[in-house]
Every structure is written in structure tokens, then in C-alpha cells.
Structure 1
Amino acid sequence: MRERGMTRRRVLGIGGALGLTAATGLSTAAALARRPSITGAELRSAVPLPPPFQAPLPIPSVLKPVSTTGGADRYEITQREASAEILPGVKTPLWTYEGAFPGPTIESRRGRPVTVTHRNELPVPTVVHLHGGRTPAASDGYPTDLVLPQGWHDATMHTGHGMQGMHDPRALVTKLTRAYTFPLDQRPTLLWYHDHRMDFTAPAIWRGLAGMHIVRDDAEDALGLPAGPRELPLMIADRAFAADGTLVYPSLDPTLRVRPGVREPYFAGVLGDVILVNGAPWPVHEADAARYRLRILNASNARHYELEAVTDDGRRLGLVQIGADQGLLATPVTHQSLPIAPAERYDVVVDFSGVPVGSLVRMVNQLGSGRTRDVMAFRIARGATDDSRVPRTLSTDLPAWRRPDAVRVRDFAFRAGQMHGGHGWLIGGLPFDPARSDVAARLGDVEVWRVVADVHHPVHLHLVGFRVLSRGGRPPLPHDAGLKDTVSLRPGEAVEIITRFDGYRGRYLFHCHNAEHEDMGMMANLEII
């Protein structure tokens, strides 16, 4: 997929408001880098929206294992339709894991295997991907590895853009249930699980199929970081609501059975006008005047955030980053604002000890406007003692890959283009096809990948973590620190990453995690041989 030169293409209308001449490549796209981090179009809710900072912040329940014998933990999750009161006094139908949005959190120990048996009681096939997991290929959630619901007889169903009605001979299809096995032989971090069905990932996540999975170990526990009630998992996601409380989404086929994709104005991504944190709109959390550890996940389909913690008197509190997608940094990095793209996770500590009791600290999104500028708030409810700390050295087990270690360099262009007679999103000029081999990497090899974007693309690699080597030929940005599995490319930007393809052999993916881009072709196969 090495880029072989620019070819002139016609102007594509992207997201209604954004136009890009793909042919002029980086010269045109670079001008877009000065624009806000928005790729997509926003849906407007038709139901009255509540004022901010009224709903208490929910904390997702921690799922209990059904068995802990034999050195492994076993869980069971039912995927089913449910309804919840997300907006006050309004019931919203959802697709859920265990009847909740977000789904229940799974907490694991490093190196202790977990098996999660999913039962699909939804009206369509599903696939589960543990995002950020070092997972054998058979349990990674490849998009055609479907779990069929009861009564779904056509395993060779038309799956849309990538499949063109073809049967994937390597697909691992099961009926009603599937057991996913996760060895979790990896650094402690916040992972998340979500639907990954071919061509329909975006609307399935939008309807509620997302949950968190935390991996811990003894070394991290011994650091003295904020813990217990002062450690908060925060899943941020935007949505929009119809007048009757249902979720609005511009699917071409609202049944999500046959025709994938969204209406033309939302081609570049679907944005909502309501910001949810752990499933509540603009919530507030009563906090001690102490340090808090915030495990932040951007589970939005397409919305980017630039987060700041702002006090009543306008001061910005430091966001002390201690971890990235794939676990702890070597040393802390302090930010005044923190950009976070879809699927990225940041582990940060915020110190409320200097904030007067009774005041409010707002978490705001500098990329938002109107109601989407607010995210959530902390009300400092009481003074408190605090024996937590943020040590100067957080981790010593980060990989030390260097550029000379790489056995090859690969180039990939993430760009809009024509696909099957319509608009699509392409990697190296090609839409996703499960029957095609795109990249074959040898187990144990170190490689450098250079990826370039036309508009905003959060690029995710399955199986492995990576380090960011450069952005636009310059050193990485402060928020690029540590080991990542998703990197946010800005318009016209080229990023270099380095990784070692270890863990397991088999068929994996890399793709854009703007979920609408992913559904419209922006995935490719990664074969570990």
C-alpha cells in the first residue's frame, strides 16, 4: 500500500460543510489543518435537553465472573434490547450488553486469562472486539466472524461495501453464542469492548454496544495513585435524540440488516449534540478536595475533544497524564488541554486540593460550541485527607524500539475516494475486502509505518501497541507519549509509528476509528505470519 503518486480526483463533498480536492493532496489538505478538529456533520435533537451538571455521574457496574476456577475468569454477557432514562423523564431504546449503557466493566489481572461468552439476543448479527487487547485472532472480533441471532439462517448474507455479497471463507460464524478468550498478557491499562460487525459498526456502537475493560497488576497497584472512589472510568460519547426519545442516526437502512452507510451529509462522520459521560448527559460528580485518577475513553463515533478542567474563577487545572492507550507512561506529562480522538484513552490525574469547597470544576471541550462545549463537572463537596501520589517514575517496561531496529518501512494513505460507484474512504486507494491480503508482517519483526491523511483519521492497529516517532517530520507532540494503539492524524498530516508484531499469528486489521469511515471501506487486513 505504498503511495505511488497523486492522481487527480474530483472535489468530494465531505460532511456537508467540509470540501477537499483529493487530487491536490497534502497542499490542499494542509490548509485544513488550521480548521477545528471536526470531520462530520452534527445531528440536532428534537427533544428538550436538560441543563448541564444536574444528572449525577453514573459509574458502570463491575461484572462478576460466573467462575474463577482453573486459573481463569469466565464471564457471561447477553446482548439484548433495553430502554433507559438517559434524558430526564424520557425512555430511550438501546442495544446493550447486559441491559446497560455503557455495558458492565470487566476488571482483570495482568496475565490471568478471561473468557467472555456473549449471547446475541439482538435482531442482527454481532461481533465483539476488545479494543487494545493482545488477543488471538480467533477471538479478536474480525468483522465477518459473526454471532448470528436465533432464526438468522443466511450466514452468507450480503454484508455491504467490503463484501459485495461474497462469502468470506475464513469467517468464523457461530449461532447465538460465542466464547471469546483474552489471555491479557499485557501491560495494565483501560481497554474497551464494542461491536465490530462488517459495515455496521458505527450504528451498533451508537445504539449502545460499548463497555470498558480494565487490566491491573501489582506493580501499578503499588505506585500509590488515586484509587477506590477516587479512580473514575469516564466513557465520553455524543448522541442525538428524536422527539420521542429514540436515538437519531442517519442510516440508509434503519434495520441494519442489508444496506450499510449513512445519508450523504453525514458521509464524513456522525456527530451528536448531546454529550454523555457514562451514559448521562453533562453529568456532575461530587468530589473530595483531593487527587482523582480519570480513565478517559472517547467512545464517540466521529467527535474529537480537546479537554480542559476549568475552575469557577477561570483557572485551568493541570491534567497530569500518567498513561496512554496501552498503559502507563515512563514519567508523567502535564497538559493544560488534552486532545482525544475517537477510540483513544488517556489516564490522567487531576488535583482538586486547591479548589474551594462548594465550587465547580467544569470539564470543557475547546473544540465544541454551544451545548457541545460542556462535557461534565466536578462539584467539590468536602475537604479530605489524601495520601495518594504521582511518582516521578511510573513504568520501566516500555519497549525501546529504535528506528534502526525496523526491518521495513511501509507507507499508507488514508483518503476519501470512489468505491463501488459511490463515495468511500480508502487505505492506499482501496476499500476493505476480507478476501484480499493487504499487509503480511512476520511475527517478531519491527516495522515503521508512515501514514498520511486527507482529513481527520484516528488510525487503530489491532493486536499491537506502537510508539509515535514523528508528526509532519517533527518530534511527537506531548500527548503522543507512551505506548498507543490509536493515533489521531490531522488534515494533511503525516505520522510515523514504530511497532513490533508480536503476540499471535493470524488475520487482524488496521483501520480508521471514525466509525463511519470504517464502515465505508477504511479498513485493511494485517496478516501476522
Structure 2
Amino acid sequence: MAELRTPGRRVSRGVSRRGFLGLTGAAVALGAAGFAGREFLRPGQPGLVLPSQAPLPGRFEVSLPVPPVLRPTRSDGTTDYYDVVQQVADLEIVPGLRTEAWTYGGSFPGPTIVSRSGRRAVVRHRNELPHPTVVHLHGGHTPAESDGYPMDLVLPAEAGGAAGGHHAHDASGAAGSVVGQRDYTYPMEQRAATLWYHDHRHGFTGPAVWRGLAGFHLVHDDVEDGLHLPVGDRDLPLMITDRSFAADGGFHYPLLDPAMEEHGVEDRYMDGVLGDVVLVNGAPWPALRVDRARYRLRFLNASNARRYRLALDPQPSGGGVLMQVGGDGGLLERPIAHDAIDIAPAERFDVVVDFSRFAPGTRVRLLNRLGEGRTTEVMCFDVSSARVDDDARVPTRLATVERLDLSRATTTRTFRFQLSADHGWTINGEPYRAGRPSARPRLGDIEVWRFITDVHHPVHVHLDPFQVVGRNNRGPGPYDAGWKDTVDVRPAGGVEVAVRFTDYAGAFMLHCHNLEHEDMAMMADFVTE
């Protein structure tokens, strides 16, 4: 078994260890009291900004790129087969500079895979990078052997490739490590949704994703097709990330060990690494010319630690311009109108924006109201003056969303996400150890899971989505509708969710999706039976 432990370093995060652990204790007491508390610790933004060393580009000077759609290498009656080569690529991300990226297929983001609900996808990943990798389809309803368990490494194909951090494990249902390549099988027995794939290597997810290992995987179905939502060029996946850049244009990241043999980041960044450049689909503060028509914007927060409060400026008359139609687990039952949306790392929000509500020629900025300096802006939309046809719409009813019946819940489990003086970031006081399950839920049972935090923790559960039951002894929040697989748990707060695991027995993961927290041991196994 392998255990991640924080190296023997003092805790330094802007508050004293005694003060921080006092707040942690308050969070635990809050959970024991039934979440009857209020936020009081760093309500806006976890983490620390890592300043770039390179000159920063201007805003709205480059066009928004759209990741290419990956075509199957072959197909048969039930399955589409894809090949992805993980490779180093030299990219121009900051204009005038070259950035060495770790990529899926030579691009950042990686190519978008588009699947049909009920039609299987098999994706062969070949690792030509200098370090081991693991691929996780985030939001995928996936068998354990293809879920991207963090110990199931794909070692570099080239002989002599570094295998730093390779550990054996004995988790039930896991696939083990292989050399060179692995086939990941995705049955796609799930609703239409915006999924994404990214690296999930034990202890090194943060630097791998920071260097470029992330891409979209979109699922469509008949229900979605019948709604007449925007399609084609007006259906846009938008991967929002923040990054910092070294003087030579390379990705700047505060690794404790640049050789990537020891996990973790420098002390002061252990609460999360924030960049000072906002990228959308790999471009800094891009611009997009849009028709005066409805667009579906698939927002994905693929940042390591940064939260965003997304809003359009100017706001059109009447407000409610961000019409949410979907979330992590697919379509909502009914659309929800927002003026702004809070989105934590790994969360997805599908919204429809009707740009005909803006005057021709308007520059509409997408703002981040939780940002500072240049990170207060994300991208812009330049509204055309031409007249266009638009037959897209947002119906008042979108899809049927099954309600999990809490009266049938068999078990309530509590998971406390805390900083430990001895072990760093922990769940229920324990650092991650592969093969040591924290829960053994039975397939088909409804359970209630409680997540209790000290500071901000976006909590992600593998295998199946969940439904938010309540926050701090109240109802769900404004961004909790529908099926979710990641929930933003606020400082010294608690969230209760209803979950039901189905179909696949084996070892799966529960963890914080602040990637620096995840890498520094804030993960736990659960085994479905």
C-alpha cells in the first residue's frame, strides 16, 4: 500500500497552526451540531497567487480557439474506438512565447471526444511523456478498471522513462499499472452531459493538469436532441483555467520537487496554486464574435484551485441572462435564470445566453467577480450587427430528473475534510492510503453522505452523481440543482448529498478537487459491493 504524507515541514498558510487547527475544530463542532453554522473563513478564494515572470499579454487580443473534435479510428455496431497520444508539445499560448506543454494529442486543451448515450467508447491512451500518467473521465459512469484509479499508472512507453511515484496497491477492482498504453472502456450508459478527462496520477495530478492534461468529453442523447437547444457553432465548450508563466514562457508551478519524485508544492502554496493569467480553451483572455442569437456555453472550471463568480457585463435589461440548462450530471428539470454563477474547480454549468438581448456592436465581457487585478476578466463576446436566423430555444421543461427518496436511505456517512498537523490535508483525520476503503456502499442502495470542511473544498465523488439535499441545515444552494458530481463546500460548512451507486463493483474515489489538496493526501477510497 502507498500512503501520501505531507513532508516534515511546518504549516504556513497565512494563519498560525494553532489558529488554523482551532478553526478546523470549529468546523468539526459545526458538523456535530448539524451544520448549524455560518461561513467565517476566507469566503471568497482559497489559495495563493503565483506571479508570472513573463510579460503578460493584453486582454481580448486573441480569438477564442475551439478544441478539435477527435474522430474515431474505427467503429463497429456498438463501439467507437479512439487513439490519443500523450506527448510533449511546444505551443504558443502567450503571444510571442513558446510553452512546453504536456498534451493529449498535441493540443491544450486536448481534443474533444463526442459520444452518444448508450454507445460504448474505447479510448486507447499511449504515454509518450517523461512521467507516468492516469486518465480519469470526470463524470463518467465507468467500470472500476477504467475509472482512472490513481495507482493504475500508464508508465512511459520509452525504455528508461521516469517512473517516479510508482506504487503497488491492492484495491479491489483496480486495473494495476501498465507500460506504454491502456485502453479505457466507457459504456456511456448515462444521460447527455458535459464531461471532461484529465490526469489523475497519485500525488501529481496538480502539476500534470497545470501542464495541460485536460480535455472535454461530451455526451448527447435523444432527450437533449428534442429540446432545440443551440447546436453546431453555437454550442461552445469553454474550459476556464488560470496559469502562471515563467520568464521563458514555460508553465510556472511551485513544485516541491521538480523531478516529481516527491509530491507536493512549496509550503505557502499548500492551500492551492492560483495563476495570474486566465485562459479559455488555452488562450489568454480571448475574444469571440457572436451572432445576435442564442448560444449554449458549457462552462468548465478546470483550474487547480481557483473559484470563479461568472457574470456578463453589461447586464441586459431584465437580468437573468445566464439561463442554466444543465450541470455536472446533465440537463436540469427546468431552466434556472442567473445573473452570476459561482463555479468551483471541476464543476460544469451549461447555460444558454441570448445575445439578441444586447445592442448590435456591444462588447460583452465575461467577468470573474471573485478575481483580483487581471483575473477579474475572463473573455469577451463581440456582438455582431448582422441579422441572423435563430430557431434555438429554451423550453420551460427540459428533462425528467429522478428524485432520490431519502426515506429509503440505508446509511448516513460523514466525511470531514480537514488540515491535520501531522498528516496535512486529510479526510476523517487520515491521509490517503491506497487500498484502505473509507466506505463500502452496496450497489443500488440510497445513502446520505455528509461533507464537513475547515476551508473551501470542492468535493468530487467518482462513479455516480449525487443530489444535494441541503447546506448548513438549510435547503440546497442556488447552484446545486440537478445531478452533480462535484460540490463546493464552503469554509466551516457542511453539505448533505443523496447518492446511489449502480452497475459497477470495485474501488472508486472520493476526494477534494482542489488539486493541491488532492495531491497532498485529501483522498479516500470507497468500494462498491
TM-score range, shorter chain: over 0.9
Within 5 Å, which residues of 2 pair with 1:146-165?
146-151=153-158, 158-159=165-166
In 2, Cα distance between equivalents of 1:275 and 1:231: 21
Do the aligned partners of residues 156 and 54 (structure 1) sit closer, same or farther apart at CA in structure 2, a change above 3 Å counting?
A: closer
* Matched residue, 1:6: none
String of CA shifts for 1:251-302, please: whole Å, max 9, x gaps. Answer: 011122x111000010100000000000000001000111111011000000
* Alpha-carbon separation, structure 2, partners of 1:314 and 1:394: 25
Hey, what does 1:175 align to over in structure 2?
179
CA contact (8 A) 1:317 1:351 kept: no
1: CA distance, partners of 2:42 / 2:445:
38
Asked if 1 retains the 8 angstrom alpha-carbon contact of 2:28 and 2:416, the reply is no
Distance 2:249 2:422 in 1: 35
Which amino acid letter does the alignment assign opposite residue 188 of structure 2?
L
Alignment-derived partner of residue 12 in structure 2: 13
Aligned residues of 2:193 and 2:219 also touching (Cα < 8 A) = yes
Q: CA RMSD in A?
A: 2.1
Deviation of the 1:152 alpha carbon: 5.8
Q: Please name the residue that 1:47 is paired with.
A: 54
CA distance in 2, matches of 1:27, 1:429: 11
- Indicate conservation of the 8 Å contact 1:108/1:216, yes or no: yes
- The amino acid of 2:182's aligned partner reads R
Partner of 2:504: 504
Match of 1:427 in 2: 427
Using the TM superposition, name which of 313-322 and 327-336 deviates more: 313-322
Q: Distance in 2 between matches of 1:251 and 1:17?
A: 23
Distance in structure 2 (CA, Å) of the matches to 1:61 and 1:154: 29
* Counterparts of 2:438 and 2:11, CA distance in 1: 26
Letter in 2 for 1:250: P
Find the counterpart in structure 2 of residue 273 from structure 1: 276
Matched residue type, 2:432: F
What is the deviation of 1:150?
2.9
Q: Distance in 2 between matches of 1:157 and 1:136?
A: 27
- Change in 2 beyond 3 A, CA 1:444/1:51: same
Q: Distance in 2 between matches of 1:86 and 1:187?
A: 34
Deviation at 1:206, TM superposition (A): 0.2
Q: Is the 8 A contact 2:11 2:421 kept in 1?
A: no
Match of 1:308 in 2: 311
The one-letter amino acid of 1:174's match is V
TM superposition shift of 1:27: 8.8
Structure 2 gaps of 5+ residues are: 1-9, 31-36
Return closer, same or farther for 1:182/1:27 CA change in 2, 3 Å cut-off: closer
For residue 53 of structure 2, give the secondary structure of its aligned residue in structure 1: coil
CA distance in 2, matches of 1:312, 1:479: 19
Deviations 1:111-163 (A, max 9, x none): 1000000000000110000000000000000000000113567999645xxxx
Tell me, yes or no, if the aligned pair for 1:311 and 1:317 is still in contact at 8 Å: no
Residue correspondences, number: 508
**Separation in 1, partners of 2:165, 2:218:** 35
Match of 1:72 among 61, 76, 79: 79
Q: Which position in structure 1 is the counterpart of 2:420?
A: 417
In the TM superposition, residue 437 of structure 1 has moved relative to its aligned partner by: 2.0
Q: CA deviation at 1:321?
A: 0.5
1:70 is displaced (CA, Å) by 3.3
The amino acid across from 1:146 in the alignment is: L
Pick from 229, 246, 250: which aligns with 1:242?
246
Moved more, 188-197 or 399-408: 399-408
CA offset at residue 450 of structure 1? 1.0
Whether 2:221 is the aligned partner of 1:211: answer no
- Quote the Cα distance in structure 2 between the aligned partners of 1:363 and 1:184: 32
In the other structure, the counterpart of 2:5 is none
Post-superposition offset of 1:79 = 0.2
Q: Could you tell me the TM-score, scaled by structure 1's length? A: 0.92
Q: Report the equivalent of 1:479.
A: 479
Match of 2:44 among 30, 37, 41: 37
CA distance in 1, matches of 2:148, 2:23: 32
* CA displacement at 1:384 relative to structure 2: 2.0
Q: Is the 8 A contact 1:15 1:40 kept in 2?
A: no
How far did residue 167 of structure 1 move? 2.7
TM-score if structure 2 supplies the norm length? 0.92
Q: Distance in 2 between matches of 1:81 and 1:58?
A: 20
The code of the aligned residue for 2:350 comes to D
**Residues 219-298 of structure 1: matches in 2 within 5 Å?**
219-256=223-260, 258-298=261-301
Equivalent position of 1:7 in the other structure: none
